[in-house]
Structure 1
Amino acid sequence: MDIALHFFDEYVGDRLYAALDNPFAHHAPVAASKLSFDASSPSAALSSLSAYLGTLPSLSSLPRDHIVRQSLSLYGITYIGIFLLYFSVATFSYYYIFDHRMKHHPRYLPDQVRKEIMFSLDAFPVLDLLTLPWFVGDVRGHSMLYDSVAEGPFGQRGGALPWVYMAFSAALFLWFTDFAIYWVHRWLHIPFLYKRLHKPHHKWIIPTPFASHAFHPVDGYLQSVPYHLACYMFPIHKYLFIGLFSFVNFWSIFIHDSDMLCGHPLEHYVNGPAHHTLHHIYFTCNYGQYFCWADKFFSSFRIPAKGDDPLLAVLAAIEKKKADAAPAERATALESSTGGEGSEGGEGASDSGIEFGSEEEGSAKTEAAAVADAPAAGRPRREGLRARK
């Protein structure tokens, strides 16, 4: 975060803080020892307090490395960053990866996308405040982040060894955070914690990418702790850390696209969108973040199967809707056909019954085609899956 903080101060922060001033600075300063608070005279007490506050430094006088200025800046940077990342990546995933036919699923909520977005926006301010101490610690040098290869482990030896360590630290970061988040996530499913923290995220049975950050802020914070803790446990290059930290945020969004791609060899090793879709549907499986090994080892793994595809429920719901509507449509058609005179009306009724059958079939085909042709951009693989079924 020190990189982001540097550029913020260079192009925004210095000008911003220079424009701010201590609102009490116009009062004549007094020493704290001479403060007097007379309970019988509130106005005098307030005047005395204002005079003391006037002795405090204004924000414009705070140097770049002052902890108050750093904290305020980092909070703003983090909030803007997560806001931009969330809306850019989730919007892309929603329009180009998410299968919009899933919005016909019986458990897809009315106006769900708006609700997911509003829930996320409500969580961001508190979540950013909870994570702020980690970022302040990073920029003040309390973590094990290092700036250059020469400053890292084995950096003085030169050669390939420092680069080998960088690759090792990336693998260690993924292994450590995956294992830690597995247990944080699984503990959040303990009834006591689930009801109070994690249940809001499972409101989205059929999630869209906008559900990725739609959680209780404490839930989101607890699942983010392993990422922040990693750079306090072992040395890691700060640019590598930024890349990995960005990757896990992208990953968190993409695994919420409700995709059920099955039959890929990596599904035994990588905890992808299909695995996380099953977690949202069945709750007690696939707690991992990127990999499947922890779920397999601790007996919570459920491999994606074609029969688990929630799109099957979408198609079943449409068939049920057609079946429920058929009697009413048939009665309307018969009533309309008997509106003629004499035997011609009777013949009309008979003919209408035959005609209705073909109209119903045509209507059914039209509705099925509409669902099949619903936006599913970027999904030739999903259509291939349907063919294999």
Structure 2
Amino acid sequence: WTQIYTGWQDFPLWYLPLSVLLYLFAHDTWFYWSHRWMHRPRLFRSMHAVHHASRPPTAWAAMSFHPYEALTGAFVIPLLVFVIPIHAAMLGLVLAVMTVMGVTNHMGWEMFPRRLVHSRLGGWLITASHHQRHHEEYRCNFGLYFRFWDRVCGTDKGLSSAV
């Protein structure tokens, strides 16, 4: 039923990193739009404010959310395994990246080297200093992994100087 496979020869080897990027981009797309939706005043007060109550945000804040918010985000990866083929090891990598990025983006200090954060590539990645700006201003920087949707939708407000 799922598109999870275990044979290394089931798809070309070049598809392994592509599948990871597809999952991360699809998850980031869902996260951006659902996260932005949860910042509507009524939904923010009833659900997402639980997450923003951690002031300043810490690594624990990454896992601090209302149960309804948890449900909103919890079905994306399980849905993707029925749609996009992925090797079991690459799915494990996606889940590890998801966890590590969620935690490190809330730590209050930058995990990535300054040269990367301020590079052309870093300009497309969500980092702790980028997500810190979201916790300072609330109406910007909604992405999880990439700044693509923030840039397309005009919600990218850059990096926080606090991190």
Same fold (TM over 0.5): yes
What is the match of residue 250 of structure 1?
100
2:7 aligns with one of 148, 151, 158: 148
Q: Distance in 2 between matches of 1:302 and 1:166?
A: 33
What is the match of residue 118 of structure 2?
264
Q: Structure 1 residue 267: deviation in Å?
A: 3.9
For residues 5-154 of structure 1, the aligned pairs below 5 Å read: 142-150=1-9, 152-153=10-11
What is the match of residue 283 of structure 1?
138
Report which structure shows greater RCO (CA 8 Å, sep ≥6). 2
For residues 172-321 of structure 1, the aligned pairs below 5 Å read: 172-259=22-109, 264-265=118-119, 266-304=121-159, 306=161, 309=162
Taking a change above 3 Å as real, the CA distance of residues 165 and 267 of structure 1, as seen in their structure-2 partners, is closer
Aligned residue for 2:15, secondary structure, equals helix
For the aligned residues, what is the CA RMSD? 1.9
Q: Distance in 1 between matches of 2:160 and 2:40?
A: 27
Taking a change above 3 Å as real, the CA distance of residues 305 and 210 of structure 1, as seen in their structure-2 partners, is closer
Q: Distance in 2 between matches of 1:267 and 1:259?
A: 15
Q: Distance in 2 between matches of 1:165 and 1:298?
A: 29
Q: Distance in 2 between matches of 1:207 and 1:274?
A: 12
Conserved? CA contact 2:126–2:143, under 8 Å: yes
Aligned residue for 1:220, secondary structure, equals helix
Conserved? CA contact 2:141–2:156, under 8 Å: yes
Taking a change above 3 Å as real, the CA distance of residues 292 and 190 of structure 1, as seen in their structure-2 partners, is same
- State the Cα deviation string for residues 298-357 of structure 1 (Å, max 9, x = none): 110011153xx27xxxxxxxxxxxxxxxxxxxxxxxxxxxxxxxxxxxxxxxxxxxxxxx
Q: Structure 1 residue 264: deviation in Å?
A: 1.6
Higher alpha-carbon Rg: 1
- State the Cα deviation string for residues 352-375 of structure 1 (Å, max 9, x = none): xxxxxxxxxxxxxxxxxxxxxxxx
Q: Distance in 1 between matches of 2:133 and 2:22?
A: 27
1:168 equivalent to 2:32? Answer no
Q: Distance in 2 between matches of 1:268 and 1:196?
A: 33
Unmatched 5+ residue regions in structure 2? Answer: none
Q: Distance in 1 between matches of 2:122 and 2:6?
A: 36
Unmatched 5+ residue regions in structure 1? Answer: 1-141, 154-161, 311-389
Aligned residues: 158
TM-score by length of 2: 0.88
TM-score by length of 1: 0.38
Aligned residue for 1:227, secondary structure, equals helix
Conserved? CA contact 1:213–1:220, under 8 Å: no
Conserved? CA contact 1:189–1:198, under 8 Å: yes
